[in-house]
Amino acid sequence: MSTTSLPAPDRSPRLREALLAAAFTADGLLDLLGAPAYAALARSETVPALRATRGDSPLDTLVRLFLLQRPVPYERARAALPLDECVEDGWVIRAGEEVRAAVDVRPYSGPEGQDWFIVSDLGCAVGGAGGIGSHEEGVVLGVGGASSTLAGITVRTPVASALDLGTGSGIQALHAAQHAIRVTATDLNPRALAFARLTLALSGAAPADLREGSLFEPVGTETYDLIVSNPPFVISPGARLTYRDGGMGGDDLCRTLVQQAGDRLNEGGYAHFLANWQHVEGEEWQDRLRSWVPRDCDAWVVQREVQDITQYAELWLRDSGDHRTDPAEYAARYDAWLDEFEARKTKGVGFGWITLRKSAAAADGNPSVVIEEWPHPVEQPLGAAVEAHFARQDYLRTHDDAGLLADHFTLVPEVMQEQVGLPGAEDPEHVVLRQNRGMRRATKVDAVGAGFAGVCDGTLPAGRILDAIAQLMNEDPVLLRDRTPQAIRLLVEEGFLEPVGEA
C-alpha cells in the first residue's frame, strides 16, 4: 500500500463543511441510528444501521458510504458531497452510476464537544463496520478502546510542545493540538503519517510536524512538555503487523520507550504510555516495571488486566483473523506464540497505563514510583486525576508526620461512607470510604479514621481534630497523634483528603 493512493488534504475544509451540514457527527449518528443500532455498530454488527439508513437524506448516504462502506447511487452522493472534488482528491471512487468510499471517515466527538473526523483504512476502524480481521501489513487503524483510553488519561494542561509517538491515524495528535502550541507526530509507517495529516485537516485542527521513523529516532535530542504513545505493544513471535507488533523481543519495545522518555521530557513534563509487560516466573511484575522508570522521573503504573499466555495468544490470533485460516496453519501459529512465551518463561501478560513526570526531586534521589493493580471501573477522562495524583505525591514527600498534623484538610466531594458488620450489631466491623469520581477507590478505615475524615472541612488543623476525637473516645491524645499520621497519609495518597494548608 502506498501513500500516493490516499486522498489529498488540500480541500478538506469543503468536505468538512458538507459533513457538518449533513449532521455527520457523533451526535447526528446517535440521533439517526438510535442507541441500539449505534451500539451494535460498535460491535461490528451492521444490519441495524443498514435498516436505519434506508432513507435518502444526505446523512443516510454518508453513513452508508463512509461507515458501512456500501456503494451509494451517484446522484445521492452528489447531493451529500462536493462530489467532483471528492473524486478528484481521492476521498471516494466513482464506478459507473455508483460511488464508494476510498477511506474510512468516522465522526469523533472531542472532549469539549468538538466535531472531529478520524480517517483510516477501509475496514480498519476498530469496532466499526469492518471490524478487526485479516489486515495487510501497513494498514492504519481508526479509533479503538486503547486510543480512547490513552486520550482520557492524558494530562491536558496547556503546553508549548507535545510529541505523539506512533501516531497511527492521528487521534492523539488531534487531542494534543487543542492545548499544545507545537505538535510533533511520528510513525514508522509513512502511510500512517498521511492518514494523520488527513485526520487533522478534516477535523479543522492545526497541522502537526509529521516525521517518519522508529521510536525517538525522528526527534533526535529534542525535548517536549508532553509525550503520548499508544505503541505497537503486542508481545508476539515476530512482527507481522506494523500496527500492533513492535518488532522487538518480548516487552522490550515498551521498556525501551519508557526508559528513553526521561531524556526527551522537559522539567515537569508528562509522558503517557499504554503498554503490555511480561509476568515472568521467579520475578515480581512490579519489580520489572520499576526497573523501567528513568532515574529522573516520578511514575504511576496501573495494571488494568492480566491474561494467561493462552488467552493472550488467542486474543491476538483472532485480531489478525488467523482463526479463520486453515486449522493446521492456525495451530502452527498458536504453537509459535506458546514457544515464544515458554522460551522467555512468561506465564502471563499485563496491560495498563504508564505515566512519567520529569521531576527534580526524582533526579535528586527521592522519586515517587507507585505501581499498582486496579482492574475496577474508573471515570474517564482521568487526566485531571492523574495530575492530582502527582501533586499529592509532591505534598507527601515534603511533609513529615508533624507537618501533616499541623496542616488542614478537606474531604473531597462525593465520598460515601459504608458501614460493614453483622445485622443488629451495635458497632460495625469496619467502615469503608468510597469515591464516586476519578479512580473510584474504596478504603477501609477505623472509627478514628472515619471520624477524622468526616469533620475535615479545612477549618481545624489535623492535630486539633485528633485531640477532640481522643477526648470523645476517651483515648490518650498523645498516642492517637502518634499512630494516626500513617492513616492520614494513606487517605491523602489515595485522594480522599485534600491538603489546603493553613486556614
Kind and range of the H or E run holding 176: helix 171-176
What 323-332 contacts at long range (C-beta under 8 Å, 24+ apart), as own/partner pairs, is: 324/133, 324/134, 325/134
Kind and range of the H or E run holding 419: strand 415-420
Question: Side-chain half-sphere of 8: how many Cα atoms within 13 Å?
Answer: 8
Quote the CA–CA distance of 236 and 254 in Å, as a whole number. 13
Q: Which residues contact 148 (CB under 8 A, 6 or more apart)?
A: 380
Do 149 and 201 touch, CB atoms closer than 8 A? no
Quote the CA–CA distance of 115 and 262 in Å, as a whole number. 34
Query: What type of residue sits at position 136?
Result: E
Do 122 and 144 touch, CB atoms closer than 8 A? no
Burial of 406 (0-12, 13-18, 19+ CB in 10 A): middle
Q: What is the pLDDT tens value at each position of the chain, 503 positions in all?
A: 456 589 999 999 999 999 999 999 999 999 999 999 999 988 889 999 999 999 999 999 999 999 999 999 999 999 999 999 999 999 999 999 999 999 999 999 999 999 999 999 998 764 443 444 445 668 899 988 899 999 999 999 999 999 999 999 999 999 999 999 999 999 999 999 999 999 999 999 999 999 999 999 999 999 999 999 999 899 988 766 666 766 678 899 999 999 999 999 999 999 999 999 999 999 999 999 999 999 999 999 999 999 999 999 999 998 877 888 889 999 999 999 999 999 999 999 999 999 999 999 999 999 999 999 999 999 999 999 999 999 999 999 999 999 999 999 999 999 999 988 888 787 788 899 999 999 999 999 999 999 999 999 999 999 999 999 999 999 999 999 999 999 999 999 999 999 997 65
Do 356 and 290 touch, CB atoms closer than 8 A? no
Nearest to 232, CA basis, from 285, 186, 275, 199: 275
User: DSSP labels for 321-367?
Assistant: TGGGS-HHHHHHHHHHHHHHHHHTTEEEEEEEEEEEEE-HHHHTT--
Query: How do 92-95 and 104-109 pair as beta strands?
Result: unpaired
In this predicted model, what pLDDT tens digit does every residue of 290-318 receive, in sequence order?
999 999 999 999 999 999 999 999 999 98
**Any idea what DSSP says for residue 226?**
E
